[in-house]
A and B are shown apart, each in its own frame.
Chain A
Amino acid sequence: MKRLMQIAIIGGLTVLFNLPVQAAKYQEMEVADGGTIQGQITYTGSVKMRTVLPTKDKDVCGKTRKEPTILVGDGGAVQDAVVYIKEVASGKAWPEMGRPLINNIACVFEPRVQVSKRGKVDILNTDPVLHNTHGYYGKATAFNVALPFKDAKVTKILKRHGVVRTDCDAHGWMLGWVVVVPNPYFMQTGADGQYMIDNIPPGDYTLVVWQEAVGEQEIPVSVQAGATTDLSVQLN
């Protein structure tokens, strides 16, 4: 009988584990007396340079050059960092974002960094050469589409949250990023490195700061009703 009970428990667990896991979906709602997190993203270390080495289509793609892997301005301000809050189940409405566009122009992804929610993304070739825009979640292909001629355009779907890196197998040096955020509590920094995320339901959260060369850093943060929390982050 004892043995039977053990088996019963294991059997029961198997059933539970096999139930479909519903990914938590963000719910929009009215936020009363929400809090704010704001601050500046800075970097003080040495900036690594990346060599862009066009090996073909040089008349379109330009010459060999170096570019910084992190855009640092006055006082160490970091541009194109993306700050977002993880795991907010419900809260303010999504802003009007429009469909994101990844433009292949002069063998550069424009914009290099952008934020999107889950859904469709347009991919455009402005160059008179073959590009293929190959997106990855981590190392795993998210999509890979050919754009064989100028003005070729494809629409794909960013199906999951996370950082999507894009490259081009035809021009191996190309690099771009789309950060697919799980909720509207996000901001991409401008040249001043500042961010502000408002209307947050009070509670304890994890703030994520992503930058392409640094990766993701997570910082625990407590949001009080009606209050502003100052949280500047120095990347290293």
Chain B
Amino acid sequence: MKKIIAIVSVAVAIGGTALVGLSMQTAGGKTGEVTTGRSLLDYPATTGNIEPVLSEGIPVTPRLLEHGEWVFRGLCVGCHGTAGDGNGAVWELGDLYAKDHKLPRKPRDFTEAVYKLRSTPSGSLPTDADLFRSISRGLVYQQDMPAFKFLPERERWAVVAYIKSFSDRWEEEEEWQEDPIEVGQPPLPNAAMIDAGKEVYALMQCEQCHGPTGKGDGPSAPGLEDDSGLPIVPRDFTDASQFVGSSDPRGIYQTFTTGLDGTPMPSFADFLDEDQRWQLVWYVISLRPEFDLEKTPAEVIMAEHAGSQLAKMSTEQ
């Protein structure tokens, strides 16, 4: 135990000395002096939150990366592998305790740094807060990525920093990085909005994959594959539990606007104005059998569908 403490303190001391005057990347993607002399214990240990307390993350130091590696080795390598390439034992062998259970999707390959859930345009790297949210919420439907919101916030930021270290895209593409697309607050749904959304659905040709009634059975649906070459089916909009991102209005807005990179779902960012986007959002939600605008007041529907954490995201950040 003594030895471990000695190693840690020496590593921190050396890291601190060596870093004086060095300019390094922070978790927020900005370049600046590394804050030294601050213990990880000084950062929030909040649990259960999906939206981070520290919106800019924790400055990336060797100590943070080392800590991220320890957490990663403890919790993530089973699926994502020690090399971060998604070839962990659970992927390679299946779950040894349930032999018939294979993961439906390949775990994310951090060396490629292609991410489905992003606030940024298609082809862009996600923000650190996007990665934080995915780690916290998990990606459940057909992904089997559990929620890690039980981890103290500082551990989650350490993992964000560590998984970014698997790819040099973060440095190579810094000059091309595109800004996140802001998602505002959804308007209350009404019948006219949903009718207009049906037209947007037709104009955007959503039915080519998702089908005329949103069941995911359009003419382009057969034969679709994800980046790893595995078959993938378009989302069935009539089942709210199937959404990869958040199934609430703001989550749906983000998905069709930025696309789900690594899957056939493209970005429709260039063809819709703000009104049309919310019309499409409410039309897609209206396809759920439990949705009934005549029986349920719009305010109640909004409250029911805006219950997730993504919906609570502040627009001011």
Interface residues of A (CB under 8 A from B): 4, 7-8, 10-12, 14-15, 18-23, 55-56, 118, 129-130, 132-136, 138-146, 148-149, 152-154, 156-157, 159-160, 169-172
Residue of A nearest to B207 (CB): A130
- Asked whether, in the complex, the Cβ of A12 is within 8 Å of the Cβ of B18, the reply is yes
Residue of B nearest to A118 (CB): B176
Residue numbers in B under 8 Å from A10 (CB-CB): 11
Residue numbers in A under 8 Å from B208 (CB-CB): 130, 170
- Kindly state whether residue B47 has any CB partner on chain A within 8 Å: no
Inter-chain CA distance A132–B260, complex, in Å, is: 13
Q: Is the interface of B mostly helix, strand, loop or mixed?
A: loop
Given contacts A145-B259, A146-B268, A146-B271, contact A15 B18 (CB under 8 A): yes
- Kindly state whether residue B265 has any CB partner on chain A within 8 Å: yes
Inter-chain CA distance A172–B221, complex, in Å, is: 10
Residue of A nearest to B228 (CB): A139
Binary flags per residue of B260-271, CB closer than 8 Å to A gives 1, else 0? 011111111111
Inter-chain CA distance A14–B24, complex, in Å, is: 14
Partner of B171, one of A20, A143, A144, A171: A20
Residue numbers in A under 8 Å from B74 (CB-CB): none
Given contacts A8-B10, A23-B168, A140-B112, contact A159 B229 (CB under 8 A): no
Inter-chain CA distance A15–B264, complex, in Å, is: 39
Residue of B nearest to A144 (CB): B266
A204 nearest CB across to chain B (Å)? 25
Partner of B223, one of A8, A153, A160, A172: A172
Residue of B nearest to A8 (CB): B14
- Asked whether, in the complex, the Cβ of B267 is within 8 Å of the Cβ of A146, the reply is yes
The 8 residue pairs across chains A and B that have the minimum distance between CB atoms: A143-B123, A169-B264, A130-B205, A11-B14, A132-B266, A140-B112, A146-B266, A144-B266
